[in-house]
């Protein structure tokens, strides 16, 4: 129970008026996250800590003894995975993270089995779920609903932390964290993320992943971002304005093949036609924004290929075997990052450090 929770000191009406940077501190407990709801609540120090912890957890998990140590860390806690939107990928990643650190889980994925059929309000539904557990991990189609629930629970006598596993078209903060972690690991022996050239390709207008990641990259000096996609799916002005304000270098481009040899990382994305209103994606020619096997020849030899998956034609299966393809590693990285985040929320991350220092010291 976190009594000095800042969300207790603001009304819901006032809270909604804040912008993302102003909301961030309301989700923190001191230096650590209490809720994990938006990319904007993470600063560079936190990103470095998440990466460090993820590395340590991954390394500890390699032995039977280490895996058992991890499984004891939160074994008296229980988490609810409430996924009101289809997602096996993110669901399984969070479930695996919970199992890795020993937190027991309950899940609600199918709305038809819920009391919503009896006319219950969404607030009551989630408050009921929270009654049984110590944490809620939720995905919801309504943007901002996670924040609403975090505020609501903090203003009851039984508050629990909330992790946003994807809310509407706006935020998916743990995806952004795992992307940062993948970049950091990939550039570990190449001076880190600082100063790298990173291209985002495909549907930049509707990919919440790109929006969050573009923002987090402003913490890494010297990074230059490229936004490459069909005109109607290009990056929004809200993102470029943020980058302008942060003084970051970036380029909006349309010739993918010209950019490939120049960059250190390419982040491919899928055309997100599930957000189409009238199948408008079908009229867009996206073939110029596919990464094909022949592109491997013009790609830098230490470059990194990423994709949040699932993929369709934009990322050629023939590329998978190339060592520069990091998207399958990215999937597994998600599990380590989420385990790290959960431990930070419960303030048990120092136990990782102690075990790791014993192991390596």
Active-site residue set:
89-90, 118, 139, 172
Among residues 276, 328, 353, 357, the one that binds its own copies under rule CB under 8 A: 328
Q: For residues 23 and 206, which CB has a smaller minimum distance to its own copies in the complex?
A: 206
Those residues with Cβ within 8 angstroms of residue 349's Cβ, 6 or more apart along the chain or in another chain:
32, 49, 53, 340, 343
Nearest CB to its own copies, comparing residues 158 and 245: 158
Judged by CB under 8 A, which of 68, 232, 241, 347 binds its own copies? 68
Q: Which stretch binds its own copies (CB under 8 A): 4-12, 23-31, 113-121, 212-220?
A: 113-121
Closest CA to 193 of 203, 179, 204: 179
Residue 59 as a binder of its own copies (CB under 8 A): the answer is no
Which of 3, 14, 17, 113 is the binder for its own copies (CB under 8 A)? 113
Count of CB atoms situated within 10 Å of the CB of 165: 27
Q: Tokens standing for 125?
A: 């539904």
We find the least distance from the C-beta atom of residue 54 to its own copies, in angstroms, to be 15
For residues 20 and 92, which CB has a smaller minimum distance to its own copies in the complex? 92
Listed residue (249, 223, 220) closest to 48, CA to CA: 220
CB of 80 to its own copies, least distance (A): 8
Q: Is 335 left (phi over 0), alpha (psi -120 to 50) or beta?
A: alpha
- Token digits for 293? 């096997």
Whether the ω angle into residue 220 lies within 30 degrees of 0, i.e. cis, is no
Stretch touching its own copies by CB under 8 A, among 183-191, 192-200, 209-217, 304-312: 304-312
CA distances from 284 to 66, 203, 229, 272, 326 (A): 50, 11, 11, 12, 28
Which residue bears the tokens 């960059």? 263
Q: Which of 3, 17, 118, 354 binds its own copies (CB under 8 A)?
A: 118
Q: Any contact of residue 298 with its own copies (CB under 8 A)?
A: no
Q: Does 354 bind its own copies (CB under 8 A)?
A: no
For position 11 contacting its own copies by CB under 8 A, the verdict is no
Tell me the Cα Rg of the chain: 20
Specify the residue, 110 or 251, whose C-beta has the smaller distance to its own copies. 110
Nearer to its own copies, 52 or 116 (CB): 116
Tokens 């207790």 belong to which residue? 8
Q: Which of 287, 283, 275, 332 is nearest to 309 (CA)?
A: 332
The number of residues that bind its own copies (CB under 8 A) is: 57
- Dihedral (Cα; 151, 89, 51, 336), 10-degree rounding: 100
Distance CA 279, CA 339 (A): 38
Which one of 192, 331, 351, 359 is in contact with its own copies (CB under 8 A)?
A: 331
Assess 219 for contact with its own copies (CB under 8 A): no
The secondary structure of residue 111, as a DSSP letter, is: G
Q: Check residue 347 for interaction with its own copies (CB under 8 A).
A: no
210 contacts 267 by C-beta, under 8 angstroms: yes
Site residues, its own copies (CB under 8 A): 64, 67-68, 71, 75-76, 78, 80, 83, 86-89, 91-93, 95-96, 99, 104, 106, 108-110, 112-115, 117-121, 123-125, 127-129, 131-133, 156-158, 270, 274, 309-312, 317, 320, 328, 331-332, 335
């Amino acid at each position: 129970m976190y009594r000095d929770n800042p969300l207790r000191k603001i009304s819901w009406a006032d809270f909604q008026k804040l912008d993302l940077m102003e909301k961030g501190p309301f989700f923190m407990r001191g230096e650590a996250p209490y809720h994990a709801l938006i990319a904007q609540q993470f600063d560079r120090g936190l990103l470095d800590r998440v990466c460090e912890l993820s590395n340590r957890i991954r390394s500890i998990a390699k032995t039977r003894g280490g895996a058992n140590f991890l499984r004891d860390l939160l074994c008296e806690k229980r988490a609810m995975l409430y996924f009101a939107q289809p997602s096996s990928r993110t669901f399984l990643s969070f479930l695996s993270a919970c199992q890795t650190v020993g937190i027991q889980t309950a899940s609600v994925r199918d709305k038809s089995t819920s009391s919503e059929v009896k006319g219950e309000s969404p607030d009551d539904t989630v408050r009921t779920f929270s009654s049984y557990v110590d944490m809620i991990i939720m995905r919801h189609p309504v943007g901002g609903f996670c924040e609403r629930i975090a505020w609501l629970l903090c203003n009851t006598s039984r508050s629990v932390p909330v992790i946003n596993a994807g809310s509407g078209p706006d935020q998916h903060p743990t995806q952004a964290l795992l992307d940062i972690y993948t970049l950091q690991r990939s550039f570990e022996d190449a001076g880190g993320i600082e100063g790298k050239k990173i291209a985002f390709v495909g549907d930049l207008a509707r990919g919440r992943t790109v929006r969050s990641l573009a923002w987090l990259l402003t913490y890494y000096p010297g990074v230059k971002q490229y936004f490459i996609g069909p005109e109607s799916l290009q990056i929004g002005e809200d993102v470029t304005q943020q980058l302008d304000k942060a003084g970051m270098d970036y380029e909006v481009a349309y010739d993918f093949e010209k950019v490939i040899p120049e960059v250190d990382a390419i982040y491919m994305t899928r055309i997100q036609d599930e957000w189409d209103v009238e199948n408008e994606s079908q009229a867009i020619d996206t073939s110029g924004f596919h990464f094909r096997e022949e592109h491997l020849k013009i790609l830098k030899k230490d470059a990194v290929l990423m994709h949040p998956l699932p993929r369709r034609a934009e990322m050629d299966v023939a590329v998978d075997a190339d060592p520069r393809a990091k998207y399958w590693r990215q999937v597994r990285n998600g599990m380590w990052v989420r385990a790290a985040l959960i431990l930070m929320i419960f303030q048990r991350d120092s136990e990782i450090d102690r075990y790791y220092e014993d192991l390596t010291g």
